[in-house]
């Protein structure tokens, strides 16, 4: 009987951790998508605030990336950091066309990384 109770407790802990992880990942990528959309609007308008927004995004992402890598290793997570850095570099050179290209790539990468980290029934099957 003790073994069954211990197994149920362990199962509950595993399920709780999985649910909390999924909530965290959804929250982070929802925030990321909002930041990317705002940055895209600034780049399209060639607003000078785009550089500061991109720098803030870079700092925020580097902090969040540490935690995302706890869940799963993905080369896309590291590539995302590189692409954010390239976007910042483009904006520093006032190359809004290249920055817009990079931000659109970042939006696609964000969806891909979110799908990798998120729970999907297809992952079980």
Local confidence pLDDT in tens for the 125 residues of the chain: 888 999 999 999 998 988 888 888 889 999 999 999 999 999 999 998 999 999 999 999 999 888 877 776 778 888 899 999 999 999 999 999 999 999 999 999 999 888 887 776 666 66
From residue 9, alpha-carbon distances to 20, 72, 99, 119, 122 in Å are 16, 24, 50, 22, 26
Q: Are 118 and 22 in contact (CB under 8 A)?
A: yes
> What's the DSSP call for residue 45?
T
Q: Enumerate residues 6+ apart whose C-beta is below 8 A from 12.
A: none
CA angle 44, 29, 31 (to 5 degrees): 60
Determine the Cα–Cα distance for residues 2 and 24; give it in Å rounded to an integer.
33
pTM for the model stands at: 0.83
């Amino acid at each position: 009987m003790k073994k069954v109770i211990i197994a149920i407790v362990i199962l509950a802990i595993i399920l709780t951790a999985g649910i909390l992880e999924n909530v965290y990942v959804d929250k982070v990528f929802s925030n990321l998508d909002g930041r990317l959309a705002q940055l895209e609007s600034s780049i399209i308008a060639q607003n000078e605030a785009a550089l500061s927004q991109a720098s803030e995004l870079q700092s925020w992402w580097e902090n969040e990336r540490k935690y995302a890598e706890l869940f799963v290793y993905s080369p896309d997570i590291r590539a995302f950091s590189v692409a954010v850095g390239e976007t910042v570099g483009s904006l520093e050179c006032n190359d809004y066309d290249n920055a817009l290209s990079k931000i659109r790539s970042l939006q696609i990468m964000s969806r891909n990384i979110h799908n990798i980290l998120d729970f999907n029934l297809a992952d079980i099957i």
